[in-house]
Amino acid sequence: MMTNVKISGYQLALLIMGFLFGSTAVLNPTAMAGQDAWLAYILAWVGGFMLIWLYVRIALINPSLTLVEILKVTFGKYLGTVIALLYIWYFLHLAALVLRDFGEHMNVTVFYRTPMTFIISCFALLIAYCLRKGLEVTGRAAEILMPYLFIFVIIIFFLLIPEYDTNNLFPFLEKGLTPVIQVAFGVLTFPFGETVTFLMIFPALYSPGQLKKVSFAAFGVMGFIILGIIVRDLLSLGPDLLTRLVFPPSLSTELTPELQLEPLISVNFLLGGWVKITVCLYAALVGIAQLLGLNDYKHLVLPLVLLAVGLAMWLYEDLFKMMDWTANVYPYYAFPLQFGIPLLILLVAKIRKLA
């Protein structure tokens, strides 16, 4: 069942783009770099290209194997299983984080009184439905829905043009390069490094020859769009407001003349988050199914989605704790999984080839 799932290059590109957009555009992880946010972002973007190159190399060693299978091949049955379990936890955790972000964002912006549990459960139900229909359907639905996301981003970008003030880009590197690099590292792990999830999905690509082209194109296009969003927020809000706000885009869209287009940001978050959570949970599901030797993951969908909802609700007590954790702990927690182990896999493969 799972090995037969095939998606086209365009669909994979859209999934990667939606994944990168995910919660990034709303949380704006570069905000802490103030007026140098764009620089921090570009540094991370370049780093992101290196990471995706690494993942593509790993995927191309054996195009039909998922990450879990690759781990088993590389590190042996027992160690491989342990590391695979780590990854599955990571994917699940990531999905829970995005779900929580989504709930918090909605609670702060429009739905003050609606319980977060309800918003998250509705979203989770949608994702469960999507997961049940499989990756092919997700890919096709992305083909229909992603254009909305692009249109909304472009509309907001152009409506805000009167608010742009290029003075907000200066002074350049006021506090030196170190804080910029720190922020860039954070952005590298969120969202670029998170695409390690796609190692579970690359085998589904219809023609593996396209893999490199497709993933690089997706990184290029979405990287550029996110750059546009970061520059938009920076130019319209200024560095000071940018660093102070929880959800910078929500405020910057309030500046559009006459209209307040904040709901479009929520909708974009919904579209991006939908792709991101679906991909994360799909990866976790396929991983679990492969570890257990099942040939169908459909029975696992509801339990896993429920688990993700539970994690989202109870991992963090409040918004402050979660923001603190994602800013200070997450990069160090995620980086080994995003960079360390993949590098190790590639090295082992090279050594084996030589031997």
Partner 1 sequence: MMLDLGKNSLKNISLRSASLIILVFFSLTGCWDNKDVTEINLITAVGVDKTTDGRVEVTFEIPRPSLTRTGQAGAGGGENSREKAVSLVSSKGDTAFIAVRSMVEKLAKDIFPSKMELLLIGEDLARAGLQEVFDLMERDPESNMTAKVLLVKGAPVKQVMEAESEQEKIPSLHLVKSITVNQDTFGSSKEARVIDILREVALPGKDPLIPVVEILEEKENLKVKNILVSGSAAFRGDKLVGYLTATETRGWLLAENKIKASVYSLPSPNDETKNISFEMYCENGQKKVEFIEGKPKLVIKIKATGDIGESQEPTDLTQPQMLKKLENKIKQIITEEVNSALNSAQKYHSDIFGFGDIIHRKNPQEWQKIKDNWPEIFSKAPTEITVEVKLKRSGYTRKGVEPL
Partner 2 sequence: MFSWLKRKYKFLKTMAQANQQKNEQPQAEKIPQSFPELRAKLQQVFAECGDFKTREILVGDEHYRLIIAWMDNLASNQILHESLIRPLLEPQAFCQFLEDKEEDLAVFLKNNVLIAAELKEVTDFNQTVEFILCGESVIYIEGSSTALAAATRGWETRTVTEPETETVVRGPREGFVEDLAVNCALLRRKIKNPNLKMEMMKIGRQTKTTVCVCYLKGIADPALVQEAKTRLQKINIDAVLESGYLEEMIEDAPLSFFPTVGNSEKPDVVAAKILEGRVGIFCDGTPFVLTVPYLFLETLQASEDYYTRAISSSLLRTVRIICFYVSILLPGLYVAFLNFHQSVLPLNFLLTIAASRESIPFSPFTEALFMGITFEILQEAGIRMPRPIGQSVSIVGALVIGEASVRAGLVSDPMVIITALTAISTFILPPLQRVLPFFRFGFTIAANILGLLGIFFFLIALVIHLCTLRSFGIPYLAPLAPLSLSDIKDTFVRFPLWTMLTRPRDLTWPETGQAAKYRAGAEQLLSKMRKKEDR
Residue bearing tokens 């409506």: 159
DSSP state, residue 340: I
Binding-site size for partner 2 (CB under 8 A) equals 37
| Mask for 113-132, x = binds partner 1 (CB under 8 A) | xxx--x--xx--x--xx--x
Q: What ranges make up the beta strands (E) of the chain?
A: none
Residue bearing tokens 């690089």: 216
261's tokens:
């287009």
- Consecutive H or E run containing 68: helix 67-75
Q: Is 349 in the site for partner 1 (CB under 8 A)?
A: no
Q: Is 176 in the site for partner 1 (CB under 8 A)?
A: no
Comparing CA positions, the residue from 133, 65, 307, 283 lying closest to residue 195 is 283
Contact positions with partner 2 (CB under 8 A) in 72-131: 106, 110-111, 114, 119, 122-123, 126, 129-130
Report d(CA 14, CA 16) in Å as an integer: 5
Q: Is 143 in the site for partner 1 (CB under 8 A)?
A: no
Rg (CA), the chain: 20
Nearer to partner 1, 244 or 350 (CB): 244
Stretch that binds partner 1, among 6-14, 197-205, 233-241, 344-352 (CB under 8 A): 233-241
Q: Which of 11, 30, 74, 109 is the binder for partner 1 (CB under 8 A)? A: 109
* Torsion angle in degrees (nearest 10) through CA of 99, 221, 158, 169: 90
Contacts of 244 (CB under 8 A, 6+ apart): none
Contacts of 113 (CB under 8 A, 6+ apart): none
Which of partner 2, partner 1, none does residue 151 bind to, with CB < 5 to 8 Å depending on kind?
none
Q: Which of 52, 84, 251, 300 is the binder for partner 1 (CB under 8 A)? A: 251
Q: Which of 63, 76, 171, 209 is the binder for partner 1 (CB under 8 A)? A: 171
Terminal CA-to-CA distance of the chain, rounded, Å? 35
Chain residues binding partner 2 by CB under 8 A are 4, 6, 8, 10-11, 106, 110-111, 114, 119, 122-123, 126, 129-130, 133, 136-141, 143-145, 206, 258-263, 266-267, 270-271, 274
Chain residues binding partner 1 by CB under 8 A are 108-115, 118, 121-122, 125, 128-129, 132, 167, 170-171, 174, 237-238, 240-241, 244, 250-251, 254-255, 257, 260, 262, 302
